[in-house]
Structure formats: structure tokens, C-alpha cells
Copies of this chain bind each other. A is one copy, B any other.
């Protein structure tokens, strides 16, 4: 163990002592919202977008935790400062806490807030990728949970759907699972959004399907549009991805990660992937590392 510090229920505590009650609903039922954040140069990337998504998750869960966004951000900032970390992975969780009774959640919530951090390399123009190389992707049998069962826009501690997808990768050792929806339409990776280039357009599964509205996904779409790259958010098949001229996956820690292969078929990154990755890094550099004028 390092001398890492986490934030639990309002206090900064040594990581090895950071715990939650076995009666916490976050443990018993995965009844909790979370966000994966990335800090660059001491500041969380797009905090407002993450805070809005967290609030949306809590809405889906019918959980009014009563905490202000600023309070949550303060806990994240305190955790980064306590660990003297400027560039970091951050996991912020808000659980429904301990309640009387069993499954039915009470309206009165005494939430448990947990912040876990780990160091990451610097980002931006002079940054270093956190991944080893382009991702190998494999389409799995586990289907993304439909929105009518648990909305994909809710980022919760119920992550077994993605875990079962990753367990399927044990045989091939692929890096990421390509998950389809109930109808066999492309949805997303277990922890990433899917992008590919076809007929010179940047394609990605639309949020009409069971797809997490990724913050990096939104940033990449914004960058693409500002560059005049045609964007198609829609319904795609696994063959659309396998037959793409380039492909990449995104999430908060990976940022833009090129795809090497899909189901053993060479796809690779390419000029659009490289351009978007470079422009993403430039935004991070500008917003997080550039000296004030």
C-alpha cells in the first residue's frame, strides 16, 4: 500500500482505512451514482459536465442526496490536494447510505460520499497515453442492459453487465468488449464509447440506444464539428465497425484511443483519429496547462 489518502463521508482518511458500512446500500445493492474524472494540472476536466451527469444519475435513481455540486467538487479538490496530485484519475461516488428496511429506498437520504484517486501521467500536448497501444476489440455475447431495465445514462455501481462482457475477453485477451443492444445494434464498449470513420464521416452510436453519454464522447463530437468533420450519430451494425477505415474508443482516462482490430479484423487508427486526438490534447493543454496571459 502507498500512503494514498481517500475521502470518505467528509473526511480525508488513509486508503487502507477507507471503508463503508456493510449495510451501506452502495455495497448491498450497488445503489450509488458515480463519476470517473480526470484531473489535469490540478483541475478536474469538464467538472460541470460530470456534475450534471451525476445529478442525472441521481434523478434516475430517485435519490435526492441534498449535496451541492460545489460541495462534491470541494471533496474532490481536497482529495487531490491531500495527495499532492495534479494529474490523476478520480472516482467520485455518492451512495444512498445506510437506511432502515430492505430493498425499497427511503426518501430521506444520508448519502455516503467517497473519493478515490490514483496518479496518472500528465495530459495535454506533452502528455503521455495511459494505454499500452491501440485497443483490440471483441464483440461479446453479453448485451447492453436496455434502458427500460436500467437507463444507460445512469452511471451507477451496478457494473456487472460490463464485467460479464470483460470476462468474455479472457480467452482472446482483447482489451475492450464491443457490446450490442438487444436488437444487435452497436451500443458501446464496456467502459468506452465507440467511434469509427466511414465514407469520410465520423460515426458513433446515438444516445437513442443504451449508450452512456460520455463526457469525452461529447468533447470529441464538439471538436469534430468545429473542424467541419461530418458527424453521424445513428444506429450501426457490428459490420459497420469491422469495415470502417479507422476506429477509436473514448473514455475519461483513455481520452482518444485508436483501435487496432475488431474481432481480429484490422481496422486501425488513421488521419481522422490522429487529428481528433491532437485537437483533444490541445484543448486540455489550453484549459489546464497553459500559463495565464
Contacts and interface: CB of A to CB of B under 8 A. Distances in A.
Interface residues of A, number: 55
Interface stretch (A17-25, A225-233, A281-289): A17-25
Given A30-B159, A143-B148, A149-B161, A116 B61 contact: no
A216 interface: no
A270 interface: no
A267 to B, nearest CB: 21
B23 A27 contact: no
Given A20-B20, A103-B162, A116-B22, A145 B149 contact: yes
A164 interface: yes
A149 B143 contact: yes
A201 interface: no
A148 to B, nearest CB: 4
B103 A159 contact: yes
Identical subunits present:
2
Interface string A4-19: 0010100000011011
A159 B31 contact: yes
A191 interface: yes
Interface in A153-173: 154, 156-164, 166-167, 169-170
A291 interface: no
Contacts of A156: 160
A91 B102 CA distance: 11
B27 A27 contact: yes
A114 B166 CA distance: 25
A142 interface: yes
A280 to B, nearest CB: 21
A105 interface: yes
A161 B21 CA distance: 22
A151 to B, nearest CB: 9
A278 B153 CA distance: 46
B182 A146 contact: yes
